Amino acid sequence: MRTIFLDGKYLKTDGQIIDAFTPGIFQANGVFETMLGLDGKVMDTALHLRRLRKGLKILRVRAPSIKASALNEVLLRNHLPCARVRLMVWQAGHRTHVMIVVLPYKIPKKKAYRVCLIKTGRGANDRMADLKSLDYEMYARAYSLAQSKGFDEALLLNHNGHIIEASRANIFWSKDGTLYTPPLSSGCLNGITRQQVIKQAKNLKISVKEQNLTLEILKQANDAFLTNSLMGVMPIEITDEFN
């Protein structure tokens, strides 16, 4: 049994209920955030809550009051030293619902991820950059397909043929001392770790540029890596052939 937070109450429930509310399976007019929980504390809550509110504003869903203390309390009640913390807010009828779920998480020990390319119908539009929507089926399907083929992640192509991000992460690459990442206008999510990497690179006087990414550019990169709030930074294998 797990403890979840639902509409102001802490409830005991089983895995089937939690699975049913997984983004990509559960679809509704709303948003979600995925955060890392370590030793009783949820990381970067202020940044995640700020993006969540922006997403709700785009969807015209009333933003409820959510406190970081509720996120930490669910983490503590589940007695997990390392966890995936998922916050979901959605509208059903005239009511806005809030759910916090905590699941066990192991930080990957791989030195690099193997990735494949998957085409999507994602448009090039920065309007969606701050919207981590519960309409997540495309991403969940891409990740599942990559896993079924023996890959760790899927790099997603938008309708222009540009690599915009991975199914669960942003992408960076370096070339001749400059760090690159796709622009928000390509259709990628403005990830929390993406923002932090860009800020830290600039603080270190590393040149950072936003540029549309093609497969040929990726093959010519010195190195490349993925970022998200759970794994942090993960290098990817750059090969001459991508499936």
For 182-195, what is the mean pLDDT? 95
Q: What is the pLDDT of residues 99-155, one digit of tens each?
A: 999 999 999 999 999 999 999 877 777 677 888 999 888 899 999 999 999 999 999
Q: Which two tokens stand for residue 4?
A: 């979840």
CA angle 113, 117, 123 (to 5 degrees): 120
User: What pTM value is reported for the model?
Assistant: 0.92
- Round to whole Å and give the CA distance between 121 and 210: 21
How far apart are alpha carbons 32 and 223 in whole angstroms? 31
Instruction: Report, as an integer, the average pLDDT of 170-184.
Output: 97
Q: 94: how many CB neighbours lie within 10 A of its CB?
A: 6
132 closest CA partner among 229, 7, 237: 229
State how far the Cα of 98 lies from the Cα of 113, in Å rounded to an integer: 33
Cα first-last separation, the chain = 40
Read off the pLDDT band of 88 (50, 70, 90).
very high
What the chain holds in terms of domains, given with CATH numbers, is: 2-104 (3.30.470.10), 115-235 (3.20.10.10)
